[in-house]
Structure 1
Amino acid sequence: MSDAPSKARIIKLLLLITLPLYILDQISKWWVVMNFKLPFVIHEGERYGVPEDTRPVIEGVFNLVRRHNQGVAFGIGNGTTWAPVVFLFVLIIALIGITYFWKKGAFSGPAKWSAPLLISGILGNLTDRLFQGFWLEPYKDSSFLERLSQGYVVDFLDFKIPGFEKIMPSSGGHWPAFNVADSCITTAAVLLFVTALLEGRKEYKEKKSK
């Protein structure tokens, strides 16, 4: 484990990496919410919205969409009553944990960039889960807790990947839609994986040289 980063370094990384990416994530999501039609929402037996507002950017390859994800990757937990609450607390716990271990110097090598990326990604999706439910028109007269429980993450980047339909036929070849926050989290995960490989290789060489 490396020495813990200084307070000044942490603040610098938060300002240079976390904050700009968080702002980009929120601006892009709110642009989608304000300009794309509401996806299907069922409230008190009434159906609101449209099947999906899809706008091709590169025909057959890349689209902009508006999808509400109350669950996690691949839509796990979507449409359930427990997912918005459970995953809201999961994100809060993850944010606290990452901040704690970052201050303790747990991120080293390429992974030193993963902490600010993880924080921006988690904050972006956490903000969605806290506030997006309050903007759902069908729930405008509902209680505070009910509107909070309708929180969702805005996904809008839709790519079609050759051969993916063979792995997941129901996808039609489309990778699950994602957003800027998801990209930050994925990049951080890759950096953590690469760091683990490099450290494992270093330990192997040291043992072999003895």
Structure 2
Amino acid sequence: MAKTRSLPANTTLAPWLGIALIVILFDQLTKIAVMKVFAYATPYTLTPFFNLFVVFNRGAAFSFLAAANGWQRWAFTALGVAAAFVIVYLLKRHGSQRLFCTALSLIMGGALGNVIDRLAYGHVIDFLDFHVGRWHWPAFNLADSAIVIGAILLVLDELRRVRGAR
């Protein structure tokens, strides 16, 4: 069984909150930059499979509930804030588990990055547009990317934990 390095058990929240803060900062800076440089809903082709394409998402992933009456803004904001509180609790409790806490920090940073958008603008700013021919993946942003990477790391952490328990 491979020995994994972990932080001391008395680790503070600082490194994990720092990761979340970096995610929030880069997410917000990129959103501000694309809003200043690019026109809304006008694709700017960078490669044969990737565009910058500024769109607003009033819903959640894949524009889920985007057409609702507006209540979803507050529901998704509350969900993001609640998730952040749960994540802080888990970070405090499991601060010595590096991969687990890195994953949670990325998820929290992404969730709060999108919460900031919902509070400031009433929608999330998306701008990364990958496509194959005419088929486009739904546009997303750096916060969404951090959430997905965090989720993948959670799965890897669990698989590693399960294999280690054999």
The two structures share one fold, judged by TM-score above 0.5? yes
Structure 2 counterparts to residues 2-81 of structure 1, below 5 A: 6-7=11-12, 10-15=13-18, 17-38=19-40, 52-58=41-47, 60-81=48-69
CA distance in 1, matches of 2:76, 2:96: 24
* Alignment-derived partner of residue 183 in structure 1: 145
Residue 127 of structure 1 deviates from its aligned partner by 0.5
Q: Cα RMSD over matched residues?
A: 2.1
Unaligned runs of 5+ in 2: 1-6
Using structure 1 for the length normalisation, give the TM-score.
0.69
**2:162 aligned partner:** 200
CA pair 201-24 structure 1, distance change in 2 beyond 3 A: same
DSSP 3-state at the match of 1:160: strand
Q: Match for 1:123 among 112, 116, 123?
A: 112
Tell which structure's C-alpha radius of gyration is larger. Answer: 1
Residue 74 of structure 2 corresponds to residue 85 of structure 1: yes
Aligned match of 1:158: 129
User: TM-score when scaled to structure 2?
Assistant: 0.86
Would you say how many aligned residue pairs link Structure 1 and Structure 2?
159
**How far off its partner does 1:70 sit?**
1.2
- Measure the CA separation in 2 of the matches of 1:13 and 1:108: 11
Question: Cα distance 1:13–1:104, how it changes in 2: closer, same or farther (>3 A)?
Answer: closer
2:83 and 2:108 in contact (8 A); partners too: no
> What is the deviation of 1:106?
7.2
Quote the offset at 1:26 in angstroms: 0.4
Q: Deviations over 1:59-89 (max 9, x none)?
A: x300001111111111111121221121111
Segments of structure 1 that go 5 or more residues without pairing to the other structure are 39-51, 133-150, 163-171, 206-210
For residues 155 and 33 of structure 1, what CA distance do their matches in structure 2 show? 10
The Cα of 1:109 is off from its aligned counterpart by 5.2
Q: Equivalent pairs: percent with the same residue?
A: 33
- Distance of 1:32 and 1:89 partners within structure 2: 26
Deviation >3 Å, runs of 4+: 2-5
Structure 2 CA distance, aligned partners of 1:31 and 1:195?
A: 34
Give me the whole-angstrom Cα distance separating, in 2, the residues matched to 1:90 and 1:22: 17
Structure 1 pair 123/189, CA: closer, same or farther in 2 (3 Å)? same
- The structure 2 residue matched to 1:173, chosen from 135, 140, 148, is 135
Q: CA deviation at 1:19?
A: 2.4
